[in-house]
Amino acid sequence: MPQLDVNTWPPQLFWLAVTFLVLYFIISKIVIPRTGGVIEGRKNQIDSDLVAAQRFKADTDKAVAEYEKALAEARGKAHAIAKDTRDKLSAEVDKERSKLDGELAAKIAQAEKTIQAARTKALTSVTALATEIAAEIVGQLAGTKVSSADAAKAVAKAQGN
């Protein structure tokens, strides 16, 4: 094997050193700077993305706080509007209720007057009818004719007047 032959070692060592130096030069001057540049670019991009994310987070937190504040104000206004509307409707309902109560009271009073008039008329009719019936009964039982005035007195006495 030629690698183990001691006579071929010096040229092999020479070419090993030349190849090593050429590869070292290529890697140190071309590959590492490019890789370092890419790494540095990525690091810079990540740093700028983190700064932008922090800024967006702060903006989002601020927007959320403003939204919550606006939402609370809107709820307060909605409650106030609802309360005002309930108060107005309640006042209108109370007004209508009192108006209807007045109308119903007037109708009830009128109905009571009508009922009282009908009752009085009915009692008068009943009294007249009772007077006639009493005169007729006495006339048939006693065989005599009773005057209407006497029969009316007897009916009035029986009613307790």
For residue 74, give Cα distances in angstroms to 77, 81, 116: 5, 10, 61
State in Å, rounded, how far the first CA of the chain is from the last one. 162
Tokens of 125: 């009719």
Q: Per-residue confidence of the chain (161 residues) as pLDDT tens digits?
A: 667 788 888 888 999 999 999 999 999 998 888 888 888 989 999 999 999 999 999 999 999 999 999 999 999 999 999 999 999 999 999 999 999 999 999 999 999 999 999 988 887 788 788 888 888 888 888 878 878 787 788 778 887 75
Tokens of 60: 């989002």
**Rounded Cα–Cα distance for residues 154 and 160 (Å):** 10
Spell out the domain ranges in the chain.
9-159
pTM: 0.42
